[in-house]
């Protein structure tokens, strides 16, 4: 079995030996420009077109939860990967726990009004603020896939009203499910914290605009953990300046790195991290890939295959 590996930032010296150990008998090599030798599987992130073009692979694994970088390249270069070749995403592989840590810590930060107290501290003002009530702090999660379900489960222990919105209805314990465009307004009405975990698809680009934001509860919050293309940043800034939104926590942006002159940097109600909400963990990712390849070789049913039409 021949496996080729390419990632612009991951260290092959770490990944390749671990992959060889997890896949005994497989020849795992780092792909380099000019390598057109046969391969059965490709493990990639932002792959060059020439790496995959013309190869008759058994499967391609995206080394992350999203596959938008591959799908967007396929639009411009459909010859890069034949339609019948299966494309797989990493469904969790440690990212779920990281998303849980991020979401819970920030929700509690807002709920306990630590952002407001920090603003008072900057003014040297000693003032006790009115507490928020849990029943008024409804949390809505956009996207109820593997990661969305994990985040919902972690927040349920804190007693907040929870709801989710996705393409189809979900059965998540303690979570009210909404689905489809016809139920989006009902989902948004009364939501105080909006957490975005949607996949990047044509239908979700620019979804979080002023129209959507204005349907949230007053003094609401937005947390974006998915992709920058989901949020119309100028609309977000307008809603923050008007007071409709009380705060935003952003891990992803329309341009990355975010330009130094972008107004998000200076806004006092915006907190930011540089796309670190959930990183691919090598051990968990390799275990998933090895198990999936084993099942494929045995002709068994596997999880994580991407529907190229839906985009996830």
Size (the chain), residues? 312
Reply yes or no on whether 267 is catalytic.
Answer: no
Q: Is 275 a catalytic residue?
A: yes
Q: Distance between CA 7 and CA 280 in Å, rounded?
A: 12
Which residue in the block uniquely carries the two structure tokens 């009210």?
176
Closest-CA residue to 147 (of 98, 192, 114, 193): 98
| Residue with the two structure tokens 């501290």 | 121
Q: How far apart are CA 289 and CA 158, in angstroms?
A: 34
CB 19 within 8 A of CB 34: no
Give the phi and the psi of residue 198 in degrees, each rounded to 5. Answer: -75, 150
- Catalytic one among 89, 192, 227, 246? 227
Whose tokens are 């008024």? That residue is 136
Which regions of 36-192 does DSSP assign to beta strands (E)?
Answer: 41-44, 59-62, 87-88, 139-142, 162-166, 175-179
Going along 118-258, which residue ranges are E strands? Answer: 139-142, 162-166, 175-179, 193-196, 220-224, 245-250
Catalytic residue among 275, 281, 305, 308: 275
Residue 61: Cβ within 10 Å count: 24
Residues designated as active site: 227, 275
């Amino acid at each position: 079995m021949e496996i080729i590996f390419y990632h612009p930032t991951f260290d092959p010296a770490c990944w390749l030996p671990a992959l060889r150990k997890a896949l005994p008998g497989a020849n795992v090599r780092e792909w380099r420009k000019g390598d057109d030798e046969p391969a059965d599987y490709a493990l990639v992130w932002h792959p060059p077109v020439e790496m995959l073009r013309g190869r008759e692979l058994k499967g391609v694994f995206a080394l992350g939860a999203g596959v938008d970088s591959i799908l967007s390249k396929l639009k411009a270069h459909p010859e890069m990967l034949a339609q019948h070749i299966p494309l797989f995403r990493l469904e969790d592989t440690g990212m779920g726990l990281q998303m849980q840590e991020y979401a819970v810590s920030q929700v509690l930060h807002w709920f306990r009004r630590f952002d407001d107290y920090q603003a008072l501290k900057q003014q040297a003002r000693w003032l006790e603020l009115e507490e928020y009530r849990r029943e008024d702090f409804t949390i809505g999660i956009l996207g109820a896939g593997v990661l969305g379900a994990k985040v919902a489960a972690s927040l349920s222990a804190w007693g907040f009203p929870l709801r989710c919105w996705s393409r189809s209805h979900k059965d998540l314990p303690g979570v009210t499910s909404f689905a489809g465009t016809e139920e989006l307004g009902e989902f948004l009405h009364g939501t105080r914290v909006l957490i975005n975990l949607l996949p990047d698809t044509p239908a979700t680009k620019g979804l979080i605009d002023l129209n959507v934001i204005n349907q949230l509860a007053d003094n609401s919050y937005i947390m974006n953990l998915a992709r920058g293309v989901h949020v119309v940043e100028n609309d977000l800034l307008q809603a923050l300046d008007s007071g409709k939104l009380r705060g935003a926590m952003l891990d992803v942006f329309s341009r990355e790195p975010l330009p130094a002159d972008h107004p998000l940097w200076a806004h006092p109600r915006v907190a930011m991290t540089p796309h670190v909400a959930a990183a691919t963990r090598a051990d968990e990712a390799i275990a998933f890939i090895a198990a999936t390849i084993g099942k494929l070789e045995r002709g068994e049913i596997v999880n994580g295959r991407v529907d190229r039409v839906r985009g996830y």
